[in-house]
Chains A and B, each alone.
Chain A
Amino acid sequence: DAGVIQSPRHEVTEMGQEVTLRCKPISGHDYLFWYRQTMMRGLELLIYFNNNVPIDDSGMPEDRFSAKMPNASFSTLKIQPSEPRDSAVYFCASSRGQLAGVPNEQFFGPGTRLTVL
């Protein structure tokens, strides 16, 4: 099992540019999560999907952020236009849904370190 795959691992861009982060979840997992990690705010859940449908996007900071999951094996997080305050590490995670009311482990990708100049 290759685990959760994220690309790119590092992204440096200039303010105002569009940024697209990519994620391939573990096969068979029906939940996908996007997190952002910064020193100031720690680990924040941005959005999560179940069976490719967005369930909770309350953590998405503003309209500049959007996420899609066109199929079970691919998701994108887009920032347009990017700003320096978006600099962070963005993680994708996937899991199987809860079983008999018991939550399952989330498996995290290695993250994408985004720097917006």
Chain B
Amino acid sequence: AQSVTQPDIHITVSEGASLELRCNYSYGATPYLFWYVQSPGQGLQLLLKYFSGDTLVQGIKGFEAEFKRSQSSFNLRKPSVHWSDAAEYFCAAPFSGGYNKLIFGAGTRLAVHP
């Protein structure tokens, strides 16, 4: 069955440190992939998306993600984390039976220490 997996439920980093959040997918064809961020008390906001072409995708707020077909991964990275990045991050992919429906991972909650 199609799935999106985020292996890390919680991650804590120090402000200024680098960050990598993991996402793995199971999908037959070349996937479309998304990363969303949810700040406390807010709805989800799109950070970036991969559709095709360059496997390194740039997003908002200094985030980037790299699509690796060989590893079925789409990991989110940021070179230097700011305290305001503390939030929950969701990886998502369209349902193969209907592209307008998204399957979300369980989310990774990021805490940032000063």
Knowing A50-B100, A98-B99, the reply to whether A43 touches B107 (Cβ < 8 A) is yes
User: Is A106's beta carbon under 8 Å from chain B?
Assistant: yes
Contact, CB under 8 Å: B100 / A110: no
- Please report the total number of A residues contacting B with Cβ < 8 Å: 26
User: Is A95's beta carbon under 8 Å from chain B?
Assistant: yes
Q: Which residues of A contact B49 (CB under 8 A)?
A: 105
Most buried by A among B94, B100, B107: B100
Interface of B is mostly: strand
Tell me which residues from 20 to 67 in chain A have a Cβ below 8 Å from any Cβ of chain B. Answer: 31, 33, 42-43, 45, 48, 50, 55-56
Tell me which residues from 14 to 64 in chain B have a Cβ below 8 Å from any Cβ of chain A. Answer: 32, 34, 36, 41-46, 49, 51
Give A102 to B43 CA distance when docked, in angstroms: 23
Contact, CB under 8 Å: B34 / A108: no
Contact, CB under 8 Å: B32 / A103: yes
Of B44, B51, B94, B98, which one neighbours A91 at CB under 8 angstroms?
B44
Tell me which residues from 62 to 117 in chain A have a Cβ below 8 Å from any Cβ of chain B. Answer: 91, 93, 95, 97-98, 101-111
The 8 closest A-B CB pairs, nearest first, are A108-B43, A103-B99, A108-B44, A103-B94, A43-B104, A98-B99, A42-B106, A105-B46
